[in-house]
Structures are given as structure tokens and as C-alpha cells.
């Protein structure tokens, strides 16, 4: 049975208290009261940190949910493919409800947040997804996107997808300047 993030948190808190109690008993027997006070202070700080931290088990990581589409809601398919760097799909094709006026970049940011995938952008440009960044695999490597198999020709911050579109983000190691991986 895999532990949940909440169970992991409580186990860590219990471990902190067990160590702190052992140290307090040890220092108390030796009458080192300053060390007892320091141990209590450190254990309190560690407990505060653990209380406000978020923990995810392996099975919970990346399991964020996206609201299911309602009847008649526009839906697009989004995928994030890092095969160009030998990592396979960071996000296999998933259907996502499209919000009114949402751009490809806004959609990507919403989905990566829900799936706990780290993303870094600058303006409308995607610098990295899931720990894979531009230039990691050469001076022409980075992230490009296509809509329905073709380059959109505009920034992801400007493109408004339509119902039924398939949006593919791919990591490429070379780029021909026309929006295509070479």
C-alpha cells in the first residue's frame, strides 16, 4: 500500500518528535538545559515547516484533476511530448475543456498546474516544461507547438484554439526556422 502525502507528513512529524524526545531525555539526564531548550525550539520549527508543506506520494504526483467537459462545452486535446530528448510523453494526450477566450499558452499553464508539471515561460515563450529547458540538447533545442499537426505560425500567447483542436507541444533538438522540427 502506497502512502498518501498526508500520511507522509504525519510520519515526518512523528519522526521529528521521536528524535526531539530522545534528545531531550539524553540532555535532561546530563542536566544540559540549554541543549534541551534548543532541541525543543528546533523541533517546533521543523514541525511548523512540515505543517505548512505539501507532500505528494508518487501515485498522487501529477494526478491533479481537470473539470470534465459539460454538454456542448468546447474540448481540445493537449499533449506534451519530450521524446526528442528521450523522455517520452510528459503528458499523454488528454481532453480538456476550453475556456472562452483562452489562448494555447493559458491552456498549457492551466493544465501543467493541474498535473503538477513545472513550467517556465517568458512573455509568450515557453522556456521549459517538466525540468526540460531550451538549449538542454543543443543550441536549437526547445519547445514548439502545433495545432492539428501544423505549426500555428504565431505565439502560443496569441493563438485561440477551437473546439476539437489537437494541440501538441514537442521538445525538439533542431529547428528549421519555419516552425518545423528538422
Residues 115, 84 share a domain: yes
Q: How many CB atoms lie within 10 A of CB 9?
A: 16
Residues 168, 79 share a domain: yes
Residues 154, 99 share a domain: yes
- Answer yes or no: is 57 within a domain: no
Residues 79, 29 share a domain: no
Q: What is the pLDDT of residue 179?
A: 46
Q: Tell me which residue range forms the domain holding 146.
A: 75-172
Q: Is the pTM of this model over 0.75?
A: no
- Answer yes or no: is 69 within a domain: no
Domain of 105, CATH number, reads 2.170.130.30
Residues 81, 40 share a domain: no
- Answer yes or no: is 60 within a domain: no
- Answer yes or no: is 128 within a domain: yes
- Answer yes or no: is 59 within a domain: no
Residues 14, 79 share a domain: no
Number of domains forming the structure of the chain: 2
Residues 135, 101 share a domain: yes
- Answer yes or no: is 86 within a domain: yes
CA separation for the pair 45, 37 (Å, rounded): 12
Q: What is the pLDDT along the chain (182 residues), one digit of tens a residue?
A: 567 767 888 888 899 999 989 998 998 888 899 999 999 999 888 888 877 776 655 555 455 556 666 778 899 999 999 999 999 999 999 999 999 999 999 999 999 999 989 999 998 899 999 999 999 999 999 999 999 999 999 999 999 999 999 999 999 998 765 444 54
In a 3-state reduction of DSSP, which class is residue 71? coil
Amino acid at each position: 500500500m502506497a502512502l498518501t502525502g498526508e500520511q507522509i507528513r504525519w510520519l515526518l512529524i512523528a519522526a521529528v518528535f521521536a528524535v526531539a524526545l530522545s534528545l531531550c531525555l539524553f540532555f535532561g539526564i546530563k542536566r544540559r538545559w540549554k541543549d534541551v531548550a534548543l532541541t525543543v525550539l528546533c523541533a517546533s520549527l521543523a514541525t511548523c515547516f512540515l505543517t505548512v508543506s505539501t507532500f505528494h506520494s508518487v501515485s498522487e504526483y501529477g494526478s491533479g484533476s481537470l473539470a470534465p467537459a459539460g454538454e456542448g462545452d468546447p474540448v481540445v486535446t493537449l499533449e506534451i511530448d519530450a521524446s526528442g530528448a528521450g523522455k517520452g510523453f510528459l503528458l499523454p494526450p488528454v481532453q480538456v475543456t476550453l475556456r472562452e477566450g483562452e489562448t494555447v499558452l493559458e491552456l498549457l499553464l492551466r493544465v501543467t498546474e493541474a498535473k503538477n508539471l513545472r513550467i517556465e515561460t517568458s512573455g509568450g515563450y515557453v522556456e521549459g516544461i517538466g525540468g526540460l529547458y531550451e538549449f538542454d540538447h543543443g543550441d536549437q533545442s526547445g519547445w514548439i507547438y502545433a495545432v492539428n499537426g501544423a505549426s500555428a505560425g504565431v505565439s502560443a500567447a496569441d493563438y485561440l484554439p477551437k473546439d476539437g483542436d489537437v494541440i501538441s507541444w514537442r521538445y525538439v533538438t533542431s529547428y528549421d526556422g519555419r516552425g518545423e522540427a528538422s
